[in-house]
Amino acid sequence: MKALGKDFRHLSRKDKLQRLKENGWISDESRQELWDYPLLSEEVADSLIENVITQGALPVGLLPDIEVDGKHYAVPMMVEEPSVVAAASYGAKLVNKTGGFHVESSERLMIGQIVFMDVEQPNKLAEQLLEKEAQIHQIADTAYPSILKRGGGYQKIDVDTFSEEQLVSLKVYIDTKDAMGANMMNTILEGISGFLKGEWPDINVLMSILSNHATASVVRVSGEIDIANLARGDMDGAEIARRLEAASVLAYVDPYRAVTHNKGVMNGIHAVVLATGNDTRSAEASAHAYACKEGQYRSMTKWEYLPSKARLRGTIEIPMTLATVGGGTKVVPIARLAQELLHVDSAKELGEVAAAVGLAQNFSACRALVSEGIQEGHMSLQYKSLAIVAGAKGDEIEKVADALKTADTANMAKAKEIIADLRE
CATH number at residue 173: 3.30.70.420
Domain shared by 333 and 276, yes or no: yes
Q: Are 121 and 115 in contact (CB under 8 A)?
A: no
Per the model's pLDDT, the better-predicted residue between 329 and 21 turns out to be 21
Q: Considering the domain boundaries, does residue 137 fall inside one?
A: yes
Handedness of CA 118, 124, 128, 131 (dihedral sign): positive
In a domain, 188, yes or no: yes
Instruction: Dump pLDDT digits (tens) for 358-371.
Output: 999 999 999 999 98
For residue 219, pLDDT beyond 70: yes
* CATH number of the CATH domain containing 403: 1.10.8.660
Q: What is the CA radius of gyration of the chain?
A: 25
Q: Are residues 334 and 381 in the same domain?
A: no
What residues are labeled active site? 81, 263, 279, 378
Residue 50 lies in a domain: no
Q: Is residue 28, in this structure, part of any structural domain at all?
A: no
259, part of any domain: yes
Q: 236 and 306: one domain? A: yes
Q: Please check whether residues 286 and 354 belong to one and the same domain.
A: yes
Domain co-membership, 364 together with 241: yes
18 occurs within a structural domain: no
163 occurs within a structural domain: yes
Same-domain check for residues 245 and 193? no
**Same domain, yes or no: 267 and 412:** no
pLDDT, position 384: 82
Are 238 and 227 within 8 A, CB to CB?
A: yes
Domain extent at residue 281: 59-101+220-370
Please indicate, yes or no, whether residues 181 and 282 belong to a single structural domain of this protein.
no
Helices 333-342 & 28-35, crossing angle to 10 degrees? 140
Average pLDDT rounded to a whole number, residues 287-292: 98
CA distance 73 to 343: 7
pLDDT tens, position by position, 11-31: 999 999 999 999 999 999 999
321 lies in a domain? yes
Residues of the chain above pLDDT 70, percent: 98
Residues 358 and 225 placed together within one structural domain of the fold: yes
Domains contained in the chain, number:
3
Span 266-270, average pLDDT: 98
Task: Give every CB contact of residue 95 below 8 A, 6+ residues apart in sequence.
Answer: 66, 67, 101, 223, 224, 225, 314, 359, 360, 363
Note the pLDDT tens digit of each residue in 377-418.
Answer: 556 667 888 888 899 988 889 889 889 888 888 889 889 989
Q: What is the mean pLDDT of residues 291-312?
A: 98
Q: Are 86 and 227 in a shared domain?
A: yes
Lowest-pLDDT range, 9-23, 32-46, 282-296?
A: 32-46
- Shared domain for 266 and 360, answered yes or no, is yes
Domain end, chosen from 370, 389, 405, is at 370
Looking at the structure, do residues 358 and 264 belong to the same domain, yes or no? yes
> How much is the pLDDT for 233?
83
Residue 332, pLDDT score: 87
For the stretch 99-122, pLDDT in tens is 999 999 888 999 999 999 999 999
Confidence of residue 375 (pLDDT cuts 50, 70, 90): low
Predicted pLDDT at 374: 62
Of 153, 177, 211, the residue at which a domain comes to its end is 211
Q: Could you tell me the pTM of the whole model?
A: 0.89
